[in-house]
């Protein structure tokens, strides 16, 4: 069964002459456990799509459901609870709280939800992302890659239905990007974690099970996982059209 299902989603910004059609009718289904990448040049609508799939923005028309719940009609409170229990986020700029240690940042979602952390699970998670010896450091004392590991653990800690990753390597150098992508891929495999990643980095998209190519507000190709080279070729082919 599809964890995420979008049907004929459109999103229009502005009105009259200044209107922009960011999404022009996108339908997709992401099955459980799948790691999907959304690729596209800037302005293609990929960020808008992610915002709408994650319930951060509402579509102009169409429906989005997560785990069978239509999220486009939920009120703020229900959306908040949905984010709390069903969605994890990984950001380009990490977005860690500078005042909390790595471990405290990881536990933050549980604290917000007033859930008692499962010590064993948290321990395993910290080991999984490779932060064992850095758990008591503040973000300012961590490298970019380490900060993103914290962010990955934070997204996983509440075992969400789906994780949305927004350009997770966008703020990292290529070596670190590689490490982070490995961590992410391994975590997805180990925990069967449904993940949607928005990126314009072909190397990042190459670790996904499936690559959705977006252009001008439409899905122009829905391809299975492939190498970075193939992805670049597809991108070139699309932009040439």
CB of 160 to another protein, least distance (A): 9
User: Would you call 39 helix, strand, or coil by DSSP?
Assistant: strand
Q: CA–CA distance from 185 to each of 33, 73, 114, 178, 179 (Å)? A: 11, 32, 29, 10, 10
CB of 226 to another protein, least distance (A): 27
Among 89, 147, 161, 234, binds another protein (CB under 8 A): 89
Indicate the residue among 84 and 135 with the shorter CB distance to another protein. Answer: 84
Indicate the residue among 166 and 215 with the shorter CB distance to another protein. Answer: 166
CB of 89 to another protein, least distance (A): 5
29-58 residues near another protein, rule: CB under 8 A: 47, 51, 56-57
At what angle are helices 144-156 and 102-112 packed, to 10 degrees?
A: 30
Q: Which residues of 161-190 are buried (b: 16+ CB within 10 A; e: fewer)?
A: bbbbbbbbbeebeeebbbbbbebbeebbee
Using alpha carbons, select from 136, 140, 120, 139 the residue that is nearest to residue 128: 120
Indicate the residue among 21 and 171 with the shorter CB distance to another protein. Answer: 171
The residues of the shown chain that bind another protein, judged by CB under 8 A, are 47, 51, 56-57, 76-77, 80-81, 83-85, 87, 89, 91-93, 95, 97-100, 104, 108-109, 111-113, 154, 158, 166
């Amino acid at each position: 069964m599809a964890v995420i299902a979008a049907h004929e989603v459109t999103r229009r910004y502005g009105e009259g002459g200044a209107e922009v059609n960011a999404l022009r009718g996108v339908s997709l289904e992401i099955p459980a456990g799948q790691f999907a990448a959304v690729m596209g040049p800037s302005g293609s609508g990929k960020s808008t799509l992610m915002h709408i799939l994650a319930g951060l923005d509402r579509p102009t028309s169409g429906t989005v459901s997560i785990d069978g719940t239509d999220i486009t009609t939920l009120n703020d409170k229900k959306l908040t609870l949905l984010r709390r229990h069903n969605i994890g986020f990984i950001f380009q700029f990490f977005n860690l709280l500078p005042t909390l240690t790595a471990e405290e940042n990881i536990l933050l979602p549980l604290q917000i939800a007033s859930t008692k952390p499962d010590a064993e699970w948290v321990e395993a998670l910290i080991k999984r992302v490779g932060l064992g010896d850095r758990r008591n450091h503040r973000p300012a004392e961590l490298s970019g890659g380490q900060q993103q590991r914290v962010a990955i653990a934070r997204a996983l800690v509440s075992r969400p239905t789906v994780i949305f990753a927004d350009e997770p390597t966008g703020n990292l150098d290529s070596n670190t990007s590689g490490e982070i992508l490995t961590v992410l891929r391994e975590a997805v495999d180990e925990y069967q974690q449904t993940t949607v990643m928005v990126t314009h980095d072909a190397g990042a998209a190459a670790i996904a099970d499936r690559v959705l190519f977006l252009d001008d507000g439409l899905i122009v190709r829905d391809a299975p996982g492939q190498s970075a080279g193939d992805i670049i070729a597809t991108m070139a082919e699309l932009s040439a059209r």
